[in-house]
Amino acid sequence: MDNQEQKHQRRVRYSGTHPKTYKEKYKELQPEKYSDTVEKVMQKGSTPAGMHRSICVDEILEFLQIQPGQVGLDATLGYGGHTLEMLKCLDLKGHIYAIDVDPVELPRTQARLESLGYGPEILTIRQMNFSSINQVVAESGPLNFILADLGVSSMQIDNPERGFSFKTEGPLDLRLNPRKGISAAERLKTIKQDELEAILIENSDEPNARAISRAIVSAIKKGTEISTTTQLQQIIKNTLKTIPGSNDPEEIKKACQRCFQALRIDVNNEFGVLSAFFEKLPTALASGGRVAILSFHSGEDRLVKKSFQRLFRDGVYCEIADEPIRASAEERISNGRARSAKLRWAVKR
Ligand SMILES: C[S@@+](CC[C@H](N)C(=O)[O-])C[C@H]1O[C@@H](n2cnc3c(N)ncnc32)[C@H](O)[C@@H]1O
């Protein structure tokens, strides 16, 4: 009885019938304990807090043609959904190396996969950036298959402490590895207006880049603090409200999404590490090896396409995707994030 009372006192309380904030979703955050709640959330087409729904799984597996005994790499482990499906294809013969730059989520994923029976004899997990893929290959030897599912996971977006989303108040961080580099808030403190404008244009084609960058830089100069996600959102909102044609709530939301994406790409040097990864891919792949890249915005897709096309012309790849593969209509309906996904692939000669 004492125990029950103690448990009762510790339960997270929330107003209304459904939990709204990240912390209130304590059931979704413990899928092993509350599988029925998690199932209900997924049936509604949502992603439970603390989880990530893998995209284009069938399309990826169909292309990679993984055979038992092969050795492969998941360059973006995340929640481990793709890794798990690829492991199943190995039928306990062969090996998968899986890496992720995020030191926060990686141990949770490793523990989850281990609890499913995938230990070091079949799966090696490392916290590292895929720009250093050569370090994996030094250990694994040439790889038969490689997958990179770019961007951020739902767990990272949902956790207010990571500062990836303006839906909830949190520190304006946006780093995939919060233990390295500087946060977006720090970056903004010293940024010049023209530099910020270029970031917003180059990283997410923001049409109001000049007005937004001017507002941010002048606010910081006047001593206004922009250290949280909602403080940045507010400045973007206030700026767009004064621009005819850009001031309706949907346009403002899209502009906030673009600005957060642009800053995330900048603080994580996402285009730089992606280029380094693409340069190292050909030596990482075995002859006949297959690589699949899932991207989520035009800047990323352009990089993938250009790299594959150039190396195809140079004779490094013998086959590449002519057009990107898109998620099925069914998947796009059931998982909003799948709508922007583009899957490109290449086969090493
Ligand atoms: C979309 S999620 C991957 C989800 C995963 N495929 C799954 O099924 O659960 C993208 C992941 O890539 C990681 N990531 C992004 N850039 C990276 C990089 N340069 N090196 C290693 N990991 C990276 C992020 O930390 C995030 O966990």
Query: Which pTM was predicted?
Result: 0.90
CA distances from 265 to 141, 260, 289, 299 (A): 31, 9, 29, 10
Q: What digits encode the pLDDT tens for the residues 93-115?
A: 999 999 999 999 999 999 999 99
| Average predicted confidence (pLDDT) for the chain | 92
C-alpha of residue 99 to centroid of ligand 1, in Å: 8
Q: What digits encode the pLDDT tens for the residues 161-189?
A: 999 999 999 999 999 999 999 999 999 99
Written as six digits, the tokens of 322 are 């002519």
Ligand 1 pocket check for 99: Cβ under 6 Å: yes
Q: What digits encode the pLDDT tens for the residues 38-91?
A: 777 776 666 777 899 999 999 999 999 999 999 999 999 999 999 999 999 999
Q: Is the pLDDT of residue 22 over 90?
A: no
- Contact assessment for residue 253 and residue 166, using Cβ atoms and an 8 Å cutoff: no
Amino acid (1-letter code) at residue 190: T
C-alpha of residue 129 to centroid of ligand 1, in Å: 9
C-alpha of residue 80 to centroid of ligand 1, in Å: 9
Q: Which of 49, 45, 16 is nearest to 34 (CA)?
A: 49
- Contact assessment for residue 86 and residue 72, using Cβ atoms and an 8 Å cutoff: yes
C-alpha of residue 156 to centroid of ligand 1, in Å: 10
Between 15-29, 189-203, 218-232, 247-261, the lowest mean confidence (pLDDT) is in 15-29
pLDDT at 6: 44
Which residue's CA is minimally distant from atom 24 of ligand 1? 152
Q: Which of 183, 172, 182 is nearest to 230 (CA)?
A: 172
Which residue's CA is minimally distant from atom 3 of ligand 1? 78
Handedness of CA 120, 125, 126, 130 (dihedral sign): positive
- Contact assessment for residue 291 and residue 144, using Cβ atoms and an 8 Å cutoff: no
Any idea which residue has 């600005």 for tokens? 259
Q: What digits encode the pLDDT tens for the residues 284-338?
A: 999 999 999 999 999 999 999 999 999 999 999 999 999 999 999 999 999 989 9
Which residue's CA is minimally distant from atom 12 of ligand 1? 76
Q: Which of 161, 175, 50, 5 is nearest to 102 (CA)?
A: 175
What is the C-alpha to C-alpha distance for residues 278 and 253, in angstroms, rounded to an integer?
A: 32
